[in-house]
Every structure is written in C-alpha cells, then in structure tokens.
Amino acid sequence: MHDVAIVGAGPAGATAAIHLSAQGHRVLLLDKDDFPRDKVCGDGLIADAIGALRRAGLYEEVRGLGYETRLCTVYSPSRVQVDVPGEFLTLKRLLLDDLIARKAIASGAKFLRHRVTGIEPQSNGSALLTVRETDSPIRSRIVLLATGADVELPEKIGLVDGADHSAIALRCYVRSPVALDRLIISYDRSILPGYAWIFPLGNDEFNIGCGIFYNGNEHARVNLRDTFQTFVTEFPQAADIMRRAVSRTPLRGARLRCGLRGAATSGAGNILAIGETIGATFPYTGEGIGKAMETGELAAEIAHRALVSGDFNILREFPARLERELKPKFLGYRIAEEWLSRPWLNDFVARRIHKSKFLQDSVAGILNETVDPREIFSLRGIVRSFVR
Ligand SMILES: Cc1cc2nc3c(=O)[nH]c(=O)nc-3n(C[C@H](O)[C@H](O)[C@H](O)COP(=O)(O)OP(=O)(O)OC[C@H]3O[C@@H](n4cnc5c(N)ncnc54)[C@H](O)[C@@H]3O)c2cc1C
C-alpha cells in the first residue's frame, strides 16, 4: 500500500511527488513514458514557474542549464511593440521535466514506467490502480491524477465533463546564428486568430511556434501549419531566423486545457486531479508549467495533512482552496483574453501602454502576479492610463 500514487510525472505530478516524499510519505510516481521524454511546449518559464522551481529546490540547476532573459516583447495586431520586463527562463521540456522527476526520485519517490488504465475507489477511500504492464493492481491511500491534456483516464473515472481541449499549438526547434536577447510573442494581424512566439534557448537555438485558442468558437479552427508558415514568412525576426537556419526539427503539435475548467478536481474516494488535467493553463498566453506545479504543491500540502491526521475528509478542501487561491488569477486572464482578442482594442491598449507609466508597471506586474489583469482591462484601468 502506497501513501500516494501519482499518475503522470510532468511538472504537476513530479512537483507533488517532491513535496510529499520530502515529508516522508511513500510515494509512487507513474508515467506511461520513460524519462527523459519530450513534451511539445514553448519551453518558457515565467514568474510562477520560477517561484515553484525555487520551492522545489531546482531553481539554480534550471537557471544553470537554461537561457535567461529579462525582457519579453509582445507585438499587437498592428505590430505595436510592448516591452515587458521580468525574469524569464527557457529550458527544453526534455531536460526540465527530467530534472523535476529526478528530484522527486532523489527525495524518495519510487518511479515506474506504467500506463495506468483504470482507478477503482475502495469502500475505505483508498484506490486500486490497474496498469497496462502487469496484472497486479497497485494500491494507494490517495491518488493524484496528473495526466496533462491527455484526459482518457480522468474521463474514464468520470472526472472530465466532456469539455474538449480549449487550445492547440505546435512548435519546432530551429538552429540559426541570429542574435535575439528576448522572448517574442506576437498577436500579429497576419496570423490572427492565432498567436505565435519565438523563444531563444541559447546556443543559437530557438523554439518557434504558434497556437490558437478556440474559446468555444468552432470557426477559429484554422490550419495551424499555414499559420506557422505565415508567421515565419511575414514576421521579420522569424523570417530572419528561418532564412539563416542551419537545422530545424519537424513541427509537432499538442492540445492545451486552459482556464481552470473542464474537469472535476476531486473524485470518488481519495482522488484529486491536478495540472493541465483540470485546465490549469492560462488562457491567452498558454503558460501552464507554473500553475501545474502550484496545483501539485497545493495537493501535496493537503494530502500531507490528511495522511498525518488520518482524516481523509481534509482532501475535500482541495476544490475550495483552488477556487479561492488560483481561480481569481484565471478570471483576470480570461477578461484580458476577451479584450485582447479584439484586434482594435489590442492595438489601442498597446498604444496606451507606450504613453502610460501606470500601464507599463501593471503589465510587468501581471506577469509577476503582483497585479490583477482586471487593473488594466477595465474602464477604470483605461481612465487611469490617461492620468499616469
Ligand atoms: C505547443 C505548446 C506550447 C506551450 N508553451 C508553454 C510555455 O512556453 N510555458 C508554459 O508554462 N506552458 C506552456 N504550455 C503548456 C504546458 O505544456 C502545460 O501546461 C504543462 O505541460 C502541464 O503540465 P502537467 O504536468 O499538468 O502535464 P504534462 O506535462 O502533460 O504531463 C502529463 C504526464 O502524464 C503522463 N500520462 C498521461 N496519461 C497517463 C496514464 N494513463 N498513465 C501514466 N502516465 C500518463 C504523460 O506521459 C505525461 O508525462 C504549452 C503547451 C503547448 C501544447
């Protein structure tokens, strides 16, 4: 009998495993893939991820291996350029996820490459997990589900309410001798309703990709490969990188689940769901590593108290804590998304940012999570931008 079985060893699951094992609990971390494994991503780390890496004791190592910059330049539909200062890191997920999973193992978690195919809650709240690789079921007092945007298993046990993924994105790696000292995000008119990014990885390597948020709009389903082609042809920095590219990996795509919605966060018995499974990725930017880690931390804290006290009703606090501590941040991003997906409003805000110190500070504060996006994306915010 394990104390906690964690299904999925991405940032959400492995972070939970680090914190639980460090407190002496018997943790089993399961993933269908062996590590290191690739994960399609932009590989960008913003303030929330950096904070969670610090708390996991991994910041220095990630910083040492990754690329660091203090600037992210965002382009509006009419290419009005907004420079957002902050601390940003990039590190390929192949390396990042391996580091987090290895830290979990070093902290005492046991890792098994197993695909979990079923979870059966028992009458005492514990669970039996069936896996593809062996006939013997695995027993655990608590289960954390962290399968990312792959919700086949959560769907099977009734946690996912049928809501589809909310975004899709693709990326490739390009090696090119172009000097670029910042992250670039573009909501360029030529690629709307998609968005695109160029994230330097250091050593002349770049992660270039684009995505589309559906927001329930079926018409938004564009051909992303065409969007990518438009971006690397028409966006000057992307075109420059591509023209001088010495190598390039094929485009690979993946789905995203955003907005902290689309799945129940706890199930029958002692089961909690975390990370992208419960939509813990920000709408509009697609940043999800930090929030996945934060949901893992929160679940670990609550599971620890339940295990120590023997009162598993404590697990029922998880949905309310998420609602209270994380949901407001997602609401702010959703409002920002509603504003910025209107090209004229996006351009208007970008132009105002150039003229207003209040808006410049607020935009930096949003990324650092010291400012609620609603400070800007409201009538009051716009009025204030004419004063300061
Ligand atoms: C193209 C793209 C670009 C992105 N760019 C960024 C970015 O720059 N910055 C950022 O912060 N976020 C970005 N994201 C979002 C980010 O990738 C996710 O938010 C993050 O990976 C979520 O972490 P997770 O641990 O919840 O899930 P994952 O990282 O997906 O991990 C889930 C794990 O569960 C395993 N698994 C699934 N099913 C089973 C099963 N049945 N049994 C056992 N194991 C299973 C999988 O193998 C996987 O290892 C991007 C996403 C995409 C698609």
- What whole-number distance in Å separates Cα of residue 24 and Cα of residue 297? 15
Query: Token pair for residue 266?
Result: 């706890």
In this structure, the answer to whether residues 137 and 237 fall within a common structural domain is no
Of residues 242 and 286, which shows the higher confidence score? 242
In this structure, the answer to whether residues 8 and 57 fall within a common structural domain is yes
Beta bridge partners of 85: 71
- What whole-number distance in Å separates Cα of residue 8 and Cα of residue 109? 13
Ligand 1 center to 12 CA (angstroms)? 8
- What whole-number distance in Å separates Cα of residue 113 and Cα of residue 183? 34
In this structure, the answer to whether residues 238 and 376 fall within a common structural domain is no
Closest atom of ligand 1 relative to the 274 alpha carbon: 26
Ligand 1 center to 288 CA (angstroms)? 8
Q: Is the pLDDT of residue 385 over 70?
A: no
Ligand 1 center to 344 CA (angstroms)? 33
Crossing angle of helices 47-55 and 289-309, in 10° steps, is 40
Determine whether the shortest distance from the Cβ of 285 to ligand 1 is under 6 A: no
Beta-carbon contacts of 357 under 8 Å, excluding residues fewer than 6 positions away, are 388
Closest atom of ligand 1 relative to the 276 alpha carbon: 26
The answer to whether position 281 is within a domain reads yes
Q: pLDDT per residue over 297-347, tens digit each?
A: 999 999 999 999 999 999 999 999 999 999 888 887 777 777 777 888 888
- What whole-number distance in Å separates Cα of residue 28 and Cα of residue 36? 18
- What whole-number distance in Å separates Cα of residue 67 and Cα of residue 44? 10
* Residue 202 CA: distances (Å) to CA of 24, 40, 165, 176, 374: 38, 18, 31, 11, 34
pLDDT-derived band of residue 234, with 50, 70 and 90 as boundaries?
very high
Nearest CA to ligand 1 atom 50: 41
In this structure, the answer to whether residues 155 and 36 fall within a common structural domain is yes
In this structure, the answer to whether residues 101 and 227 fall within a common structural domain is no
Are 195 and 211 within 8 A, CB to CB?
yes
The answer to whether position 78 is within a domain reads no
Domains in the chain: how many in total?
3
Determine whether the shortest distance from the Cβ of 258 to ligand 1 is under 6 A: no
Determine whether the shortest distance from the Cβ of 254 to ligand 1 is under 6 A: yes
In this structure, the answer to whether residues 275 and 317 fall within a common structural domain is yes
pLDDT-derived band of residue 386, with 50, 70 and 90 as boundaries?
low
Please name which of 322, 367, 290, 369 lies closest in space to residue 12, comparing C-alpha atoms: 290
- What whole-number distance in Å separates Cα of residue 251 and Cα of residue 209? 8
The answer to whether position 100 is within a domain reads yes
Which of 284, 306, 331 finishes a domain? 331
Determine whether the shortest distance from the Cβ of 93 to ligand 1 is under 6 A: no
As to burial, measured by CB atoms within 10 angstroms (0-12 exposed, 13-18 middle, 19+ buried), residue 173 is middle
Mean pLDDT of the chain: 91
In this structure, the answer to whether residues 209 and 264 fall within a common structural domain is no
Determine whether the shortest distance from the Cβ of 116 to ligand 1 is under 6 A: yes
Nearest CA to ligand 1 atom 30: 148
The answer to whether position 208 is within a domain reads yes
In this structure, the answer to whether residues 146 and 187 fall within a common structural domain is no
Range of the domain at 371: 342-387
Determine whether the shortest distance from the Cβ of 48 to ligand 1 is under 6 A: no
Determine whether the shortest distance from the Cβ of 212 to ligand 1 is under 6 A: no
In this structure, the answer to whether residues 37 and 129 fall within a common structural domain is yes
The answer to whether position 122 is within a domain reads yes
